[in-house]
A and B are shown apart, each in its own frame.
Chain A
């Protein structure tokens, strides 16, 4: 195995991490949902990724305090959240399943959450939360009449009405239309900048990439990787980097590049040249020079497998 764990990502140097797990595990009889997971998170947004059944929801529920770990420790803001209602005030959870009463209006539902959290000015807080998710126009209609995306936004409003320090979201974009998604991504970004710790799970990697670069990847209950996905990619030394190039003369460029020690494979495709290198930085330094030497114009140079999708694919399959 050539992928190494990065040390404690996301930790602000002078504060205790908002979330810290050490050897956390959770099993149900023979089913091990979460297995020996350790990480810590500070302020900012982190994406929680993994195939279906990897244990993401269980992990989020442990952080929210619904489940006690079967082994190891789970700490949120320095304390174990399990059965600690005083800590719940600092945590907001948006669960995946439908969990809103259809007969309440959006406003009533959010206010209900505010009151459950013991807020004094529940009405005001509810209105503010509704405004933040953009549900003002529909706030006084019963949730049963909402579309799926609107229900999701109501759930998010309910989870942040008490302005928690830690926000946990399980597939929060599910059912939202494009505009709502963009708005939600902006909202999460704002909250992260404001110093909140946000952990959200999602299968839509191109969106996760847009919100931030910090990720946690779970596979079959184990933590497969954590940290900035670009740094994770750099650690995958056993996997060569692929770069796709369009130039004025692909074949000529291919021949020139093959002479470079940084390159170990070139492939001519229909209209592009695919280059494989084990030394990405070295390659990046020579590509312009090599093209000039060959007298070939570089029109497009695109890294083919640096995206989050690519990194995730590798982590899940290894």
Chain B
């Protein structure tokens, strides 16, 4: 049973098509959802949650249809919206407990789960203070906690690192990774930041102007290329010349020498040449493709979809 499946899913907003006959099938894991050019990713999330109906086509979550069986789906899905959604005049404990009960957990189970989940997301004494006084990082944790409190099978996180400073982002990404791997919950992370998707996710869903651009494991997009980069503090030109004279294909880019990797013997040659020339070696690294290459290669779609 696929985690999420859509068939010809379409959503029209008058002149603008947010989703256009989208077909996809995703299995469990930590899935990165990227939208280029418009609101396709937010629209998809809202449809999967049953917040808006599709114009045409079908979608299912955990094998349940999003239109016919929306209440069933919501028992097993946790949602962390992108925008602020917390009232300021209650404490985290009260709010998450309340939400757990709305999800159907009996009173004592709601209390216990809330306490546990707040611990897992890293809120300690502050959980008894009013949310209004929390920092952005703490608020994001509360949002995540309310999504986890009823033990969902699938978490939908919409821009979970929005507004967080670098330290906060690292902590949130770490939390998400733990949720996906240690807690055994599938996660969909919708984000504009390819760096964090590369860091945390195992599968990529890229939507462009309502169509499916890519749907594949992240590893397919971050494969190593047959190019080795060798960086030195100085003397890159001499290094390039020496390696070329040894019969290797080499080009120089500032302090970096790019070599075609045809044979593992290249590494020994690099080591020996650097040692002979007495150059300070900064870096030796096989280049990898990056997620953003997907977006550099596909031409932008005309029409500026919203």
In the complex they form, do A and B come into direct contact, defined as C-beta atoms under 8 angstroms apart? yes
A residues touching B (Cβ–Cβ < 8 Å)? 49-53, 134-135, 137-138, 141, 145-147, 149-150, 174-179, 181-182, 203-207, 281, 284-285, 287-289, 291-292, 297-303, 309, 312-313, 316
A300 to B282, CA, bound (A): 11
Q: Does B193 contact A (CB under 8 A)?
A: yes
Could you tell me if B166 and A313 are in contact, using CB atoms closer than 8 angstroms? yes
Q: A256 CB to closest chain B CB, in angstroms?
A: 13
Q: CB-CB contacts of B268-306 with A at 8 A, as 1s and 0s?
A: 101110110011111111100001100110001011101
In the complex, are the beta carbons of B271 and A302 less than 8 A apart?
A: no
A137 touching B304, Cβ below 8 Å: yes
> What 1/0 flags go to B155-172 for Cβ under 8 Å of A?
000000011111111000
Point out the residue from A52, A146, A179, A182 that lies within 8 Å of B165, measured CB to CB: A52
Which chain A residues border B245 with CB–CB below 8 Å? none
- Interface size for B (C-beta < 8 A) is 49
Residue in A closest to B282 when the chains form the complex, CB atoms: A284
What residues of A have a CB within 8 angstroms of the CB of B175 in the complex? none
Contact indicator B135/A52 (Cβ below 8 Å) = yes
Contact A298/B166 with A147-B38, A303-B283 known, Cβ cut-off 8 Å = no
CB <8 Å contact, A298 and B270: yes
With A52-B135, A299-B267, A301-B285 as known contacts, state yes or no: A150 contacts B300, CB within 8 Å.
no
Cβ distance A169 to chain B, nearest Cβ, rounded Å: 17
Using CB atoms, name the residue of chain A closest to B207. A177
Q: Which residues on A sit within 8 Å (CB–CB) of B275?
A: 288-289, 291-292
Q: Do residues B295 and A203 form an inter-chain contact, with CB atoms below 8 A?
A: no
Contact (Cβ within 8 A) B192 A181? yes
- Contacts beyond the supplied A134-B300, A147-B38, A288-B281: 20 A-B pairs with Cβ under 8 Å: A135-B304, A149-B192, A175-B192, A177-B192, A178-B295, A179-B37, A203-B164, A204-B195, A281-B280, A284-B282, A285-B278, A285-B280, A288-B274, A297-B267, A297-B268, A301-B281, A301-B283, A301-B285, A302-B284, A303-B282
Question: How far, in angstroms, from A316 to B281 measured CA to CA in the complex?
Answer: 29
- Chain B residues whose C-beta falls within 8 Å of the C-beta of A205 in the assembled complex: 166
Chain A residues near B4: list those with CB within 8 A.
Answer: none
Q: A292-B275, A299-B284 are in contact. Are A51 and B192 (CB under 8 A)?
A: no
Least CB distance from A193 to B in Å reads: 16
Residues of the A chain whose Cβ atoms lie less than 8 Å from the Cβ of B34: 177-178
Are A302 and B285 interface neighbours, CB within 8 A? yes
Which residues in A have their C-beta under 8 angstroms from that of B194? 178
Which A residues touch B35, using CB under 8 A?
177
